[in-house]
Amino acid sequence: MTKNIAVLTGDGIGPEIMAEALKVLHAVGKKYGHIFNCEEAPFGASAYFSHGNPFPKEAQDVCDRADAIMKGPVGLAVNEMNRIPQEMRPEIGAILPLRKRYNTFANYRPVRLPASLASLSPLKPEIIGKGIDILMIRELVGGLYFGDKVEGTATGMKYSSDELIYTADEVRDIARVAFNEARKGKVKLTNVHKANVLATSRFWNAIVDTVRAEYTDVVYESVLVDNAAYQLVKNPAQYNGVMLFENMQGDILTDQAGGILGSLGLMPSACVGPAKTYVEPAHGSAPDIAGKNIANPYSMIGSVALMLEKAFGLDREANAVWNALTRVLTDGYRTVELTDASTKKEYILGTKEFGDRVRDIVAE
Ligand code: IPM
Ligand code: MN
């Protein structure tokens, strides 16, 4: 097949990890006979400085005509970020508008750690047990992050507010995505909420219950978000399957899941809407290590696998990328943030060398 892909390289380590992801993407194209036409566009904090907007019109046009979007991490060092007005910061001025523009309401964050890689996790091997395999699904275009805001100041207006709204349609749509995934994988679904306090959570649960009635084959449980945070450290494997979150709770607990894996560098993600999908690593742009060839490209390369799967339906190709990523790690190779005193020097790879290995395995 032939696909057009918008490439938003982003800031910080973005260019380095994107280069590796594109390398792997083109290896997939070559091996399986697909053409991926990639068009780069400015996006993020550096785009604000060069174009006056972190998601400038030309980037919107490139994204509009693309079949899918690959986005790198965004954000520069604090002193540079401080020169950007609040509404032009990449989070508010680029990421949220990108999500809204394509209504990418379903955020997939797979959290996978096979037992053979248990040593990557800061948790004890017996807690990792037979391995972690949780597909975290987060609602991405509603809730607190998109509600009306009133912003007070210490010296001016004496209050602030962020409105938290969920409509029945929004809850139903994301719940269906989660139940479909649970049904497909023949796994349990855990719905996360804060219904002991929040009206929106009680409403969320009531709508989830109506969807549940269509999926009586799926094993279902629900858990309070604070308890889920606790249980994810005590015994994460109990949630193997699908976890469903609203926007903010999912934002927080997916980062916690990165901690279980030992690095947010191991956390790719896909943001899926009715007409367009974009993919991105779940981590930031790490400006402190940019340009040093030490960033872990796993999450950006894994995002390629998610794009192949979710945007193009190329499951075989996606699996080839997942398998290659896992093999590099099970062969013992590590980027530096995954190492400890026992890691042999010849197994520590730079960003490029890690990408080379993944590409070579895909090409085999
Ligand atoms: C994420 C990020 C974003 C979010 C920020 C950068 C807007 O933390 O994708 O998890 O909060 O969703
Ligand atoms: Mn986050």
Q: What is the pLDDT of residues 50-98, one digit of tens each?
A: 999 999 999 999 999 999 999 999 999 999 999 999 999 999 999 999 9
Nearest Cα residue to atom 12 of ligand 1: 251
pTM higher than 0.95 = yes
Among 72, 32, 139, which Cα is nearest to 301's? 72
Taking residues 338-359, what's their average pLDDT?
97
How far is 252 from 245, CA to CA, in rounded Å?
A: 10
Q: What pLDDT was estimated at residue 309?
A: 98
Atom of ligand 1 nearest to the CA of 269: 9
Taking residues 275-298, what's their average pLDDT?
97
Task: For domain 110-272, give the CATH superfamily.
Answer: Isopropylmalate Dehydrogenase (3.40.718.10)
Neighbours of 102 (CB within 10 A): 20
Nearest Cα residue to atom 10 of ligand 1: 251
Q: What percent of the chain has pLDDT over 90?
A: 100
User: Is residue 356 among the annotated active site residues?
Assistant: no
Which pLDDT band, with edges at 50, 70 and 90, does 332 fall under? very high
Q: What is the pLDDT of residues 220-246, one digit of tens each?
A: 999 999 999 999 999 999 999 999 999
List the Cα angle 175/180/182 in 5-degree steps.
95
Same fold, 1-104+274-364 and 110-272: yes
Taking residues 100-120, what's their average pLDDT?
97
Task: Assess if CATH 3.40.190.10 describes domain 1-104+274-364.
Answer: no
For the chain, strand residue ranges (E) read 2-8, 35-40, 68-71, 106-114, 131-139, 149-150, 161-162, 189-193, 220-224, 241-245, 268-272, 277-281
Tell whether ligand 1 has an atom less than 6 A from the beta carbon of residue 251. yes
Nearest Cα residue to atom 8 of ligand 1: 251
Give residue 251 CA to ligand 1 midpoint distance, Å: 7
Atom of ligand 1 nearest to the CA of 107: 9
Atom of ligand 1 nearest to the CA of 74: 6
Substitution candidate for ligand 1 out of 55, 91, 105 with most atoms within 8 A of CB: 91
Nearest Cα residue to atom 4 of ligand 1: 251
Give residue 327 CA to ligand 2 midpoint distance, Å: 27
Nearest Cα residue to atom 9 of ligand 1: 282
Q: What residue spans define the domains of the chain?
A: 1-104+274-364, 110-272
User: Is residue 255 among the annotated active site residues?
Assistant: yes
Tell whether ligand 1 has an atom less than 6 A from the beta carbon of residue 139. no
- Cβ-based neighbours of 308, under 8 Å, separated by 6 or more: 28, 314, 315, 317, 318, 321
Q: What pLDDT was estimated at residue 63?
A: 98
Chain-centroid distance, C-alpha 211: 25
Among 110, 274, 268, which Cα is nearest to 187's? 110
User: Is residue 251 among the annotated active site residues?
Assistant: yes
Atom of ligand 1 nearest to the CA of 254: 10
Give residue 217 CA to ligand 1 midpoint distance, Å: 33
Which pLDDT band, with edges at 50, 70 and 90, does 101 fall under? very high
